[in-house]
């Protein structure tokens, strides 16, 4: 069961969700949070972040060489300054060098 609450801050929307967790799991989370010196929320965020990063690494490792090259090109294209433009002539002049 989800109870969704929105908190509006200047230019930031924070979404809060209440989730049901079994008592035994909650007890384990509380114990782990004491050992990690974190809040239960912080511990859950850390665990979820670790899980997501692990799955992302697995996904990248499963890519073929061609898919990795495509992904690298996509990342480079996202970093490019899209406001900077050149003419077709400038591109061909550069390629002719």
- Which residues partner with 54 through β-bridges? none
What residues have CB less than 8 Å from 21, skipping those under 6 apart?
Answer: 29
**pTM for this one?**
0.55
Please report which helix (H) or strand (E) contains residue 14, including its range: strand 12-18
Whose tokens are 């912080």? That residue is 42
Q: Give the separation between CA 84 and CA 42, rounded to whole angstroms.
A: 41
Q: Are 31 and 24 in contact (CB under 8 A)?
A: no
Q: Are 34 and 27 in contact (CB under 8 A)?
A: no
pLDDT digits (tens, 9 = 90+) for 25-51: 999 999 999 999 999 989 999 999 999
pLDDT digits (tens, 9 = 90+) for 72-90: 999 888 888 878 888 889 9
């Amino acid at each position: 069961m989800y109870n969704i609450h929105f908190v509006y801050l200047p230019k930031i929307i924070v979404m809060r969700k209440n989730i049901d967790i079994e008592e035994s799991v909650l007890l384990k989370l509380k114990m782990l949070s004491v050992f990690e010196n974190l809040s239960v929320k912080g511990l859950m965020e850390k665990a979820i972040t670790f899980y997501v990063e692990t799955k992302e690494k697995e996904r990248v490792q499963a890519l073929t060489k061609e898919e990795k090259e495509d992904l690298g090109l996509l990342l480079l294209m996202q970093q490019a300054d899209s406001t900077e433009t050149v003419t077709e002539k400038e591109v061909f002049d550069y390629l002719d060098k």
